[in-house]
Amino acid sequence: MHRGTTRGIVVVAGALLGCLGLAQLSPPAGAQSGPGWTILVDGKTMGDWKQDGEANWRIEDGALVADKGKGGHLVSKVSYKDFQIHAEFYAEATTNSGIFIRCTDGKFGAKNCYEVNIWDTRKDPSYGTGAVVNFAEVDPMPKAGGKWNTMEITAKGRQITVVLNGQKTADFRNGMFEEGPFTLQFGGGGGPIKWRKVAIKPL
């Protein structure tokens, strides 16, 4: 076999292995409907949440939407420890939103949960979209405004990982919050937040 042919086979094999690795990190959207997954937002109904705060949550044009009120959270009725969340959301550049995980003490803020942020225009961009406030900065901050996005959050023991649109934005170890409900936030003011699919799978 010619040396050039051998080198070509090695390159192709390496590319295939790389693609397989990416597939494991970011499973296709269809996988979030398989065994073990619970769909909490499907764009058709409000879903089964506790509501905290005064946001005007509603179903509109195939999505769960909030854009007015003093802000607040939709809180899962189940407490989770190790899990993967798949969320599809639309935000404007000015939207202040996020997903808060492993919340404790019945409170929903950065001091009581891991706050996975969605906020392109945050004054300190290091904890803007894709970051975990107070725990994992993001640089450069990806922009989510004006389009549909996919966010995947994996919490396994002390390891927390966030992937936004296929790009890993946070990856850290911390044991401050071990278990609790998760929330979908409307931060008040700014633009709307829209969720067309949210699913969770215990690990």
Q: Is the pLDDT of residue 142 over 80?
A: yes
- The ranges assigned to domains in the chain are 1-28, 34-202
Give me the CATH topology for the region 34-202. Jelly Rolls (2.60.120)
What percent of the chain clears pLDDT 90, i.e. is strictly above it?
80
Averaged pLDDT score across all residues of the chain: 88
Query: What confidence score (pLDDT) does residue 31 get?
Result: 55
For the entire predicted model, the pTM comes to 0.84
Q: Is the pLDDT of residue 184 over 50?
A: yes
Distant-in-sequence, close-in-space partners of 160: CB < 8 Å, separation ≥ 6? 101, 114, 132, 135, 136, 153, 154, 170, 171, 172, 173, 174
Please check whether residue 162 is in contact with residue 59, taking contact to mean a CB–CB distance below 8 angstroms.
no
